[in-house]
Amino acid sequence: MLRRFQQYIDGAFEDGSASFDSINPANGEPWASMPAAGAEDVERAVQAAHRAFLDPAWAGLTASQRGKLLYKLADLVAANADQLAELETADTGKIIRETRSQIGYVAEYYRYYAGLADKLQGACLPVDKPDMEVFLRREPIGVVAAIVPWNSQLFLSAVKLGPALAAGCTVVLKASEEGPAPLLAFARLVHEAGFPPGVVNIITGFGNDCGRVLTSHPLVSRIAFTGGPETARHIVRNSADNLAYTTLELGGKSPVLVFDDVDVDSVSNAIVAGIFAASGQSCVAGSRLLVQRGVRDQLLAKLVAKAEAIRIGDPQDSATEMGPLATQKQRAHIQHVVAASVDAGAELLTGGAVPPDFEAGYYYRPTILACPNSSIASVTTELFGPVLSVVTFDTEAEAVALANDSVYGLASGVFTRDLARGHRLTRALRAGIVWVNTYRVVSPIVPFGGYGQSGLGREGGLEAMLDYTRTKSVWIRTSDEPIADPFVMR
Q: Which residues 6+ apart lie within 8 Å of 79 measured at CB?
A: none
C-beta separation of 459 from 160 below 8 A: yes
Distance, first Cα to last Cα, the chain: 87
For residues 392 and 296, what is the distance between their CA atoms, to the nearest angstrom? 7
Q: Is 249 a catalytic residue?
A: yes
By DSSP bridging, strand 408-409 and strand 451-452 are antiparallel
**CA neighbor of 354 nearest in space, from 322, 381, 317:** 322
Alpha-carbon distances, residue 477 vs 76, 123, 291, 375 (angstroms): 48, 17, 65, 64
Q: Which of 108, 177, 249, 382 is catalytic?
A: 249
- 422 half-sphere exposure, CB direction, 13 A CA radius: 14
Question: How many Å separate Cα 131 from the centre of its chain?
Answer: 48
For residues 228 and 88, what is the distance between their CA atoms, to the nearest angstrom? 20
For residues 182 and 372, what is the distance between their CA atoms, to the nearest angstrom? 42
In which region does residue 485 sit, left (phi positive, over 0), alpha (psi from -120 to 50) or beta (all else)? beta
**CA neighbor of 171 nearest in space, from 143, 197, 192, 140:** 143
Secondary structure class of 201 (helix, strand, coil): strand
For residues 169 and 179, what is the distance between their CA atoms, to the nearest angstrom? 26
For residues 248 and 455, what is the distance between their CA atoms, to the nearest angstrom? 5
- 319 half-sphere exposure, CB direction, 13 A CA radius: 3
Active site residues: 249
